[in-house]
Amino acid sequence: MHGGGQMNLRACALGVRTPRLDGDLRAFLPEARPWALILFREACETRAQVLALTNDLRAAIGADVLVFVDQEGGRVARMRPPDWPLWPAAAAYGAVHHDDPVLGLASARLGYRLIAHELKSLGVNGDFAPVLDVPVSGADPIIGDRALARSPETIAALGRAVLDGLNAGGVAGCVKHAPGHGRATADSHLRLPRVNDGLNELGADLMPFRALADAEMAMTAHIVFDAIDSEAPATHSAKVIRDVIRGEIGFDGLLASDDLDMKALEGPLRARAERSFAAGCDLVLQCSGAVADMAAVCEGVPMLAGKARARAERVEAIARKPAEPFDAAEGWWRFRALMGPGYGPPTR
């Protein structure tokens, strides 16, 4: 399934919101050939079911595509108790780090190593984490405790630990939401946020992304940064992507749009996809789970080629790597000692 079949994939990741592959999706996927799939809460019922689903999805496409999930911990977790362990929100690692930086970094790496262990066993090899956004007082609570800390330097250090934990488990990470969502005064799922602060203020927001500029993958923010481009959100702004994400931050990994379905964006789905690529995204995400929406987006999505293809191969190499040896039972024992007894697999 590797090799030639991998080369001819479309530059998109499509959301799956059904626990089993229905006839419409099964018929659509081999024609669409997305580079990756994304599992949502509705697609995750039990371990055996998720493993069967990921196998089924790859068989339908006829390629060993990547399967991603948003498993940050806390309120952004597609796999939840009682079928899966409970992980803390990212801010909990910042709280430990505040009291003891060494233990804070150890806890973050271990927490996401445990997430990677869980995901890898289910055929899931990508996680949309860590969040590198720097929270600002008065901003919309959509980021809130999804932020690792409040200080850019601490976020950068903890973000590196998160990526290390995921990668050690053979899971690719994705830093988000470049160039920073922490100042947004609106939830981009619902409407388009605008940030009026100048470049001096934005410097702190960029710092964690700059520190992790070597990350394998990043996700854009659907936010208008007036000081850089008052006409278009970052996802659709060549100026933000070229000058800030690729330029100031120095990120040269695979750049994915945030979900094209979010209400921050305007226009038909195909046009949203086309604008993302024109601005400089390598990949778009479409997450509704509806085949009609997927088809509309795919009309505006090229096959992965050139520099984007090379960037995608780096993500694939991490995601296909066997996990390093790891004793999960011992890992959970250590994690509870660091973070408290309430976390981990449910006691049976």
Convert the pLDDT of each residue in 222-236 to its tens digit: 889 999 999 999 999
Query: Rounded to two decimals, what is the model's pTM?
Result: 0.96
pLDDT for 2: 40
Average pLDDT over residues 139-145: 82
Confidence check: pLDDT of 188 > 70: no
pLDDT in tens, 52-70: 999 999 999 999 999 999 9
Looking up tokens 């006409």 gives: 231
Average pLDDT over residues 168-184: 93
Confidence check: pLDDT of 142 > 90: no
pLDDT for 192: 82
pLDDT for 201: 82
Which tokens is 334 given?
A: 């250590």
- Tally of CB atoms within 10 A around 297: 27
Residue 249 and residue 35: Cα distance in Å, rounded?
Answer: 26
Which tokens is 229 given?
A: 């481009």
pLDDT for 278: 98
pLDDT in tens, 103-130: 999 999 999 999 999 999 999 999 999 9
Percent of the chain whose predicted confidence (pLDDT) is above 70: 97
Pairing mode, strands 76-77 and 71-73: antiparallel
The active-site residue, picked from 189, 214, 226, 327, is 189
Query: With bands split at pLDDT 50, 70 and 90, how would you rate the model's confidence at 196?
Result: confident
Confidence check: pLDDT of 4 > 60: no
Mean pLDDT score of the chain: 94
Confidence check: pLDDT of 215 > 70: yes
DSSP 27-38: HHHHHH-EEEEE
pLDDT in tens, 270-323: 999 999 999 999 999 999 999 999 999 999 999 999 999 999 999 999 999 999
Query: With bands split at pLDDT 50, 70 and 90, how would you rate the model's confidence at 347?
Result: low
pLDDT for 182: 80
Q: Does the annotation mark 189 as catalytic?
A: yes
Per DSSP, helices labelled H in 169-286 are 199-211, 238-239, 269-279
The active-site residue, picked from 258, 259, 261, 282, is 258
Query: Nearest CA to 136 among 183, 177, 185, 94?
Result: 183
Reduced to 3 states, what is the DSSP secondary structure of residue 134?
A: coil
Strand order through the sheet with 126-127: 126-127, 66-69, 34-39, 10-16, 283-286, 254-259, 217-220, 175-178
pLDDT for 32: 97
Confidence check: pLDDT of 5 > 60: no
Domains of the chain with CATH codes: 10-16+88-339 (3.20.20.300)
Q: Does the annotation mark 258 as catalytic?
A: yes
Confidence check: pLDDT of 1 > 50: no
